[in-house]
Amino acid sequence: MRVLVVDDSRLIRQLATMALEGVAGWHVVAAESGAEALELAASESPEAILLDAVMPDMDGPATLSGLQASPDTREIPVILVTARDGAEDRAEFDAEVAERGRAEHGTLSWADRVRAAEGHGLTVTVLGAGAVPGRLLRVGSGWLLLGGSGRPQVLISATAVLAVAGLGVATAAATDRGRVYAAVDLRKILRATATERSTVRLTLLDGTDLTGTLDRVGADFVELAEHDPGEVRRLGAVRAVRTVPLTAIACATWAGG
């Protein structure tokens, strides 16, 4: 099955590609904007489209209108992925009351509690990094992804989270997320981003910041070639190569996009 994934977040595109290709076995074509999505939908003829609702310039609804206006793409099934944001949506979100009995609350996990805030602004207190604000983009198997317009994208290890502020009252239902969810863990996300050779800042549990390029992601460690943030990974720019256990990483930060 060929699927077109449309999202302005580079990490979200990588996550979707990893899950759909690596676990489900589908072929993924990715677009970072509505305009690019219209071009790829016409040229690649995907069997389905996963479309982010909130994007700059041309948002999800506008892109959907463009798809439906063309005879070549109007019949393609589209799943619009919404992430609520803004004052009105936040007020609606805070007004939701989870009517659950004591026994039902006992079945809920921390991830379920946080997942209900996807699309909203939060502040996560992270061991080694302090308070990290941002919009909650995704909650995964052992990780959180924060971002938002104009903000860097921060991948946070769930084991490094000390507290989360701004959750509101709602809680996501306790459900089995399936094998795709379980398979996309912190190690696989770091491995996927390592292929792009982009600069990343690793913040360790003791507060140490290491900036450079991920050279290798093993079963339980990463190797980072340290260099200045404005440099690319080249022999003359690398100061040292650090081997870091995954369990020592509090969060990883990339430039937005």
Domains of the chain: 2-81 (3.40.50.2300), 87-178 (2.30.30.100), 186-254 (2.30.30.100)
- pLDDT value of position 181: 58
Calpha distance 5→143 (Å, rounded): 21
7: DSSP letter: -
Find the mean pLDDT for residues 132-147: 90
pLDDT tens-digit series, residues 246-256: 999 999 998 75
- State pLDDT tens for residues 215-247: 999 999 999 999 998 888 888 889 999 999 999
Provide the pLDDT confidence category of residue 49 given band limits of 50, 70 and 90: very high
pLDDT at 58: 87
Q: What percent of the chain has pLDDT over 70?
A: 82
Q: Cα-atom radius of gyration of the chain, to the nearest Å?
A: 19
**161 vs 173, residue with greater confidence:** 161
Phi, psi dihedrals of residue 222, rounded to the nearest 5°: -130, 155
